[in-house]
Amino acid sequence: MGQRAKRKLRLISSVLAVLVFLSGCGQDFHKEGEQDDVISKDDSLTVVGVSQIGSESVWRTANTASIQNTFSKENGYFLIFDNARQKQENQIKALRSFISQQVDYIVFSPIVEDGWDTVLQEAKDAGIPVILMDRKVKVKDESLYTAWVGSDFAEEGQNAGRWLAGHLKEEGRAGEEINIVVLQGTNGSTSVIGRTEGFDSVAAQHDNWNILEQADADFTTAKGREEMKKMLHKYEDIDVVVSQNDDMTFGALEAIGEAGQSTGTDGGIILISFDATKSALEKVEQGIINVDIECNPEQGAYIEEVIRVLESGGQAEKEYFVSERVFTKKNVASVIGDRSY
């Protein structure tokens, strides 16, 4: 049975419960506020509760837009959207509120992987399918969520490493000592775990690559600038900056400029970024960022596909990967014009 059919059943039983209640004790029925709420919802729409992490990056804003465009009234959805402002406790609160409102589906992007068992069990007990978006959860029981839609972060990290190996070879620097610093995003998040593991696995094959430091810069421009500044003070000779998103890259660029250094294709610090937002791709075109590893935020349609499968009574795959590319000066021109974020 699809979620809508199940909701209809829930509605019918709510109506029956209210009728029984009314016939029993008449005027007191307004105390049954929750049941009134459920009955007043437009039953032709599928109700989706979405808990977003926050608005820390351009990527996140594009991800939110993708959700809002997909789950519109015109498309047959009633979207309840919550911005958790970077706090796991706010996400847990939002999830509980979706459960008490008996939404048809919960979609959420977990800020970190740990700490979700209890609330996801509550969603499961309420019979509400949970679809994870972008980041994953570490739970004892995988049946606590129905499906996950997102990026292959380990592959993204490996792509960064592979690109660097190829670039150093082209430059005749394959045997040189290479000093690398990394700006990492939110500690404990799937994207950071995957990108770090992926890059480190390639670095481990090169004895001459020295990772000097991996600093936590929280995926924001302000922290990217601050952490980069500290590392420029600490280390005299930085050959490569790996920045795990474009927002931090913009902060790093400010700090590097202030230190009187340069980046990019004409002999400066080699700058590797992730996300591939329009403004960063423009820097790739200008030769200021060497390479940008794409991370695709347009996940709304993939999530809707999962919901369609479930609505038709089918079984969704456990994982859906969005498609992604790697951009350098050589291939970036063809995508910049159409980039919407």
- Find out whether 212 and 281 touch, Cβ atoms under 8 Å: no
Q: How far is Cα 166 from Cα 171, in angstroms, rounded to an integer?
A: 9
Beta strands in the chain (DSSP E): 46-52, 77-83, 105-108, 130-133, 147-150, 178-184, 209-216, 240-243, 270-275, 291-294, 319-321, 326-327
Name 23's Cβ contacts closer than 8 Å, sequence gap at least 6. none
Binding-site member from 183, 255, 295, 303 for ligand GYE (CB under 6 A)? 295
Stretch that binds ligand GYE, among 54-62, 140-148, 158-166, 302-310 (CB under 6 A): 54-62
CB of 156 to ligand GYE, least distance (A): 9
Q: Are strands 130-133 and 178-184 parallel, antiparallel or unpaired?
A: unpaired
The reply to whether 250 sits near ligand GYE by the rule CB under 6 A is no
Q: According to CB under 6 A, which one of 57, 102, 158, 179 is a site residue for ligand GYE? A: 57
Rule CB under 6 A: is residue 105 a binding residue for ligand GYE? no
Residue 135 in the binding site for ligand GYE (CB under 6 A):
yes
Q: Residues 46, 49, 50, 56: which binds ligand GYE (CB under 6 A)?
A: 56
The interface region with ligand GYE, picked from 53-61, 88-96, 199-207, 302-310 by CB under 6 A, is 53-61
Instruction: Using CB under 6 A, count the residues that bind ligand GYE.
Output: 15
**What are the phi and psi torsion angles at 297 (to 5°)?**
-85, -10
3 makes contact with ligand GYE (CB under 6 A):
no
Q: Which residue number, 135 or 167, has a Cβ lying nearer to ligand GYE?
A: 135
Instruction: Closer to ligand GYE by CB, 60 or 167: give it.
Output: 60
Q: Which of 64, 133, 134, 160 binds ligand GYE (CB under 6 A)?
A: 134
Show contacts with ligand GYE in window 154-193 (CB under 6 A).
185, 189, 191
SS3 for 271?
A: strand
Other Cβ atoms closer than 10 A to 333: 12
For the chain, the 3-state helix, strand and coil shares in percent, each to the nearest 5, are 45, 20, 35
Cα distance between residue 249 and residue 242, in whole Å: 9
Q: How many CA atoms lie within 13 A of 277 on its CB side?
A: 18
Q: Which residues within the stretch 28-47 sit at the binding site for ligand GYE (CB under 6 A)?
A: none
59 binds ligand GYE (CB under 6 A): yes
Task: Check if the beta carbon of residue 302 is closer than 8 Å to that of residue 133.
Answer: no
Binding of residue 294 to ligand GYE (CB under 6 A): no
Nearer to ligand GYE, 9 or 301 (CB): 301
Binding site for ligand GYE (CB under 6 A): 56-57, 59-60, 134-135, 185, 189, 191, 219, 245, 247, 274-275, 295
